[in-house]
Structure 1
């Protein structure tokens, strides 16, 4: 990438974000907040969990993002009989009587982990090292994954038959937990109109792998003031019932709070959110804008919260 000043680079990222959103909009109707969260997680070098009922175009969204970003894409359908070797690969005995490693589908830029909660914890754990270390270990040998690398996972919240809840350690690897809702009446009309005719929308490629890595580095280099840093860390501390910052309401409504990874993601997400909105440094509003999808899967509600019908989002909103 050619050398640019930080301001020019930030403007270039904002422009690229607008182009990517426009291309995705040719295929995905509505879901603006979802698309924004997926793109922020990519530019922040994070992973994203998409939670929604069937038929809301979760898989189509991930495929479209991979096309627009000109990245290698693999889809792994998670099933109860999926084995770790089906994800990371396995060693086979070659014709020369030596073992050689055959790479699995995780060796790609974008992994769609479809219905990730349909596979047992042993297989879910196969993704843990890949998501955190960007590498996999097989037979004592560590293999680096291609960069950039993202896991975009989907989960169905209503069908609990034959599902395994994601372990907290696995959930914590995801930067965002994005809730997809039904489209509005007008959006659904447009979806039906666009998908039941003979024309298929074509999307153009906007960025390549090298440019994405460049913009990820740019996001990390965005300056952030001390008061915004303190606000983010204090917001996360407030979710911990045992913390000195936790209000009495939190001690009653939460059993467990978010860990330090949440604070890191809040700042990275706020930096990216600031840049795509034309700012060169994040403020408190940027932290709040990304807080719900970052915190909602990192807090454990108490019996009182469930009895009162309070969602994780309700409790986070009170913390603002």
Structure 2
């Protein structure tokens, strides 16, 4: 693979000093700006902010019409850079992400860049809607895009250094869907639930405040580029190098990892579950390293220079649940069992 050449923004990112305290203020401004477009989603906004600064991709879960697309458009607006969206369908082909062909006004065939290539290096947010409706061949291309932030097309390497991929799954309609392979699921830093707000104030505002009825105008009213997306890679590296993980916390995380992979050895018990036959795989080294990346960002956003156990526990479910693979006999009870497993792991593994 050819190494991408640095443009001016990349050079500025590598040589300008980064003020972590000042950037934390901008991160909180970023959250406040997004909250103007969605209500009752404070938890989801914080998790997406963590993903942005940890430079991790996100898989969204939620019913139809709960605001997933609006939330991501708000994130893209506040980040600056380019936003693209593609719909997962049974007939979508990998080439549809890269280019499309048509006849021009002269009746001659034309080839134009598709959603991945259209904006080049400025692509900041790529949203794959209903990813499980797309064929496995499409998942394979997306997997490379997520893993390497690059693709090969037209005999050329195309690099997207600032890219974050967001996707959601249709969990209601199962016809003509393809479950994501384990390798693809493991590439997502988090799986974040987006649900309908439960409090009456937020529900009333969504229904009766007219600004939420025109999404294009709503997104256009947000401040563009609260963060400079071109500097986030460098900032993410500084956060990871600066926020401390103590030896005691390292041991705690290693014990959590063992308990998730071998729950029987930690004395985990779940009603009507044979613990010895529960886990098929998961909690990979990559997944655990992503957990630490996210925990460091959580500590930084909270104004601390050290990770504490609460940082790990707060994001553990979103970072690890989609990486825990159960044996088929328990898969239909997946949500209930995984929540019970994680809760009992926290109860059995002592925190420092």
Do these two structures clear the TM 0.5 threshold for a shared fold by scoring above it? yes
1:232 positional shift: 2.1
Residues in 2 aligned to 1:136 and 1:90: alpha-carbon distance in whole angstroms: 16
> Secondary structure at the residue paired with 2:323?
coil
- Which protein is richer in helix relative to its size? 2
What are the within-5 Å matches in structure 2 for residues 139-158 of structure 1? 141-145=156-160, 147-158=161-172
Q: Which residue, 226, 229, 233 being the options, matches 1:209?
A: 229
Residues in 2 aligned to 1:210 and 1:113: alpha-carbon distance in whole angstroms: 22
**1:211 to 1:66, Cα distance in 2 relative to 1, 3 A:** same
Matching residue of 1:35: 45
Say if 1:254 and 1:305, in contact at 8 Å, map to a contact too.
no
Matched residue pairs, number? 307
Matching residue of 1:96: none
Say if 1:76 and 1:113, in contact at 8 Å, map to a contact too.
yes
**1:128 to 1:309, Cα distance in 2 relative to 1, 3 A:** closer
CA RMSD for the aligned pairs?
2.7
Is the aligned partner of 1:299 residue 2:321?
A: no
Residues in 1 aligned to 2:253 and 2:43: alpha-carbon distance in whole angstroms: 21
1:252 positional shift: 4.6
1:190 positional shift: 1.0
1:117 positional shift: 0.8
**1:197 to 1:110, Cα distance in 2 relative to 1, 3 A:** closer
Structure 1 residue runs of 5 or longer lacking an equivalent are 93-99
What are the within-5 Å matches in structure 2 for residues 45-64 of structure 1? 45-64=55-74
What are the within-5 Å matches in structure 2 for residues 102-251 of structure 1? 103-107=113-117, 108-138=123-153, 141-145=156-160, 147-184=161-198, 185-195=200-210, 200-201=217-218, 202-205=221-224, 206-221=226-241, 222-241=243-262, 246-249=266-269, 250-251=275-276
> Secondary structure at the residue paired with 2:261?
coil
Matching residue of 2:343: 317
**1:104 to 1:195, Cα distance in 2 relative to 1, 3 A:** same
Q: Which residue, 5, 14, 25 being the options, matches 2:35?
A: 25
1:137 positional shift: 2.3
1:160 positional shift: 1.2
What is the TM-score when the length of structure 2 is the normalising length?
0.79
1:17 positional shift: 1.8
Q: Which residue, 15, 29, 39 being the options, matches 2:25?
A: 15
Is the aligned partner of 1:75 residue 2:90?
A: no
What is the TM-score when the length of structure 1 is the normalising length?
0.87
Residues in 2 aligned to 1:83 and 1:281: alpha-carbon distance in whole angstroms: 45
**1:140 to 1:12, Cα distance in 2 relative to 1, 3 A:** same
